[in-house]
A = this chain, B = another copy of it.
Amino acid sequence: MGRWEPNARGRLSEAALELYVERGYEQTTVAEIAMRAGLTERTFFRHFADKREVLFSGSDALREHLVNAVAGAPDSAAPIDAVAAAFESVGVLFQEGRERSLRRQAVITANAELRERELIKLASLSAALADTLRLRGVPHPAASLAAEAGVAVFKVAFERWADDPGEPDLSQLIRESFDELKAVTAGR
């Protein structure tokens, strides 16, 4: 007890998701998660602040990835293209864990508090991307609009991907949804 457990974080995350799907998020305790993972509660709290955090720790990584991608886009890239390229590169990350992403989404959809949390994470993602665009010299309100458009496309593409197991990979859906948004805003 108290020693470093290899892969403890991954095992805890997997155990939590299993229990949230089986018993529901609200009914699951940290003690049960730790037991299912074969670890102690102390180990759980070394990795996660609480049982909700297990579902959202990936959101911070996602935001960081997107912010870095937008910040590192070529100077010549139009704001919307910098945002689109960033989201397309994120699709690959999700693809690797499609099964996990879909189970996580089902747990969140079933719980009002978790849905709220997801909306907050998306709003903070949009704000972070707008800030990053402004640092690139994109004026207001174009920076906010490009960031909001990116998050809107991501939401829509993710839903399409989650709702239909026959859908192609998420990156492709994100690319298609950006093209669709361009057509929609052009009044087609």
Q: Which residues of A approach B to under 8 Å, CB–CB?
A: 78-81, 115-116, 119-120, 123, 140-142, 144-146, 148-149, 152-153, 155-157, 159-160, 177, 180-188
Sample of 7 A–B contacts (CB below 8 Å): A78-B188, A116-B116, A141-B177, A142-B180, A142-B183, A145-B152, A182-B186
Q: Which 3 A-B pairs have the closest CB atoms?
A: A148-B152, A78-B187, A119-B119
Give CA–CA (A120, B119) in the complex, Å.
7
Name the one of B142, B145, B153, B187 contacting A145, with C-beta atoms under 8 angstroms.
B153
Which of A78, A156, A183 lies at the interface centre, i.e. has the most chain B CB atoms within 10 A of its CB? A156
Give CA–CA (A184, B159) in the complex, Å.
24
Identical chains in the assembly: 2
Q: Apart from A119-B119, A141-B156, what 14 extra A-B contacts exist at CB < 8 Å?
A: A78-B187, A78-B188, A79-B184, A80-B187, A116-B116, A141-B160, A144-B156, A145-B177, A146-B184, A148-B155, A149-B181, A149-B184, A152-B152, A185-B185
